[in-house]
């Protein structure tokens, strides 16, 4: 597992980015997904968490964000790609294999957020929507908010397929194109950074792990890498293995 430095020193907070060796956390294809997350949480010193403490967003590549009530646990089938909680002992989990996992924490208001930042979710505005919800529901101030950007496919490797290229080329997202070696690459990382800064998040409060999932596909699951090398994750025995990024308030 790897961690965000800005989050590790925060009391009452548990978080981690799981690696391939920690097991896949896709609840739709891996029956052991929840046990893998619980094992990771236990390694961090919290052995009394149960499956009911774990919460997955459904993740349908949209921009809907859900404010969790205290009694909720399990997979949230509400067409949401983001989760917000101020409740203790709820572990919010995002599963990815190239999309951008984004963790957000307001240490003053004690609010945690986990976002699935796929291309479509980012374009639909999931980041500003989540930050606005934090402000409206918890009176969070942008100056207090900490953000961690997890491993995802970077502009070094994320080239656009023809249908996606046609969809985006005449839009404002054209500015995130990078033409190289006869292909057009797309900069998801810069979209995340721009949206955070435009929403008022301080640059010093943003931490990007800098990892490309495609480049480090042996360590983190990558759907694009699996397309090119179908046998790369053969030992997992899954069609869509994903690594987990989680956050929660523990006390």
pLDDT of residue 159: 95
C-alpha span between 21 and 57 (Å, rounded): 23
- What's the predicted TM-score (pTM) here? 0.95
Does residue 43 form part of some domain? yes
The crossing angle, in degrees rounded to 10, of helices 188-198 and 126-138 is: 30
Range of the domain at 68: 5-153+205-249
Per residue in 143-169, pLDDT (tens digit) is 999 999 999 999 999 999 999 988 998
Alpha-carbon distance 225 to 234, whole Å?
13
Q: Give the number of C-alpha atoms closer than 13 A to the C-alpha of residue 22, restricted to the C-beta side.
A: 27
| Number of domains within the chain | 1
Q: Is residue 164 part of a domain?
A: no
Is residue 169, in this structure, part of any structural domain at all?
no
| Burial of 186 from C-beta contacts in 10 A (0-12 / 13-18 / 19+) | buried
Does 188 reside within a domain? no
Under DSSP, the state recorded for 17 is E
For residue 198, being part of any structural domain is answered with: no
Cα–Cα distance, 101 to 149 (Å, whole number): 6
176 found inside a domain: no
Do the domain assignments include residue 122?
yes
Mean pLDDT across 203-218: 97
Identify which of 208, 167, 162, 166 has the alpha carbon closest to the alpha carbon of residue 188: 208
In a domain, residue 197? The reply is: no
């Amino acid at each position: 597992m790897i961690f965000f430095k800005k989050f590790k020193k925060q009391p009452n907070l548990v978080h981690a980015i799981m690696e391939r060796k920690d097991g896949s956390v896709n609840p739709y294809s891996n029956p052991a997904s929840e046990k893998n997350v619980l094992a990771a949480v236990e390694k961090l010193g919290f052995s009394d968490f149960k499956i009911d403490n774990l919460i997955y967003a459904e993740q349908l590549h949209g921009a809907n964000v859900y404010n969790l009530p205290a009694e909720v646990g399990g997979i949230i089938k509400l067409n949401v790609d983001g989760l917000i909680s101020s409740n203790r002992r709820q572990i919010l989990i995002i599963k990815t294999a190239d999309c951008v996992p984004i963790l957000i924490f307001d240490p003053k208001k004690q609010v945690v957020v986990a976002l699935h930042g796929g291309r479509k979710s980012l374009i639909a505005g999931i980041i500003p929507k989540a930050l606005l919800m934090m402000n409206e529901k918890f009176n969070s101030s942008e100056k207090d908010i900490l953000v961690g950007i997890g491993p995802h496919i970077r502009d070094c490797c994320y080239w656009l397929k023809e249908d996606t290229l046609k969809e985006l080329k005449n839009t404002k997202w054209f500015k995130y194109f990078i033409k190289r070696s006869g292909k057009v690459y797309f900069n998801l990382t810069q979209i995340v950074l721009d949206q955070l800064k435009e929403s008022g998040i301080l640059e010093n409060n943003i931490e990007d792990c800098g990892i490309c999932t495609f480049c480090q596909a042996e360590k983190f699951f990558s759907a694009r890498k699996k397309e090119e090398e179908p046998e790369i994750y053969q030992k997992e025995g899954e069609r869509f293995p994903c690594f987990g990024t989680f956050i929660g308030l523990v006390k």
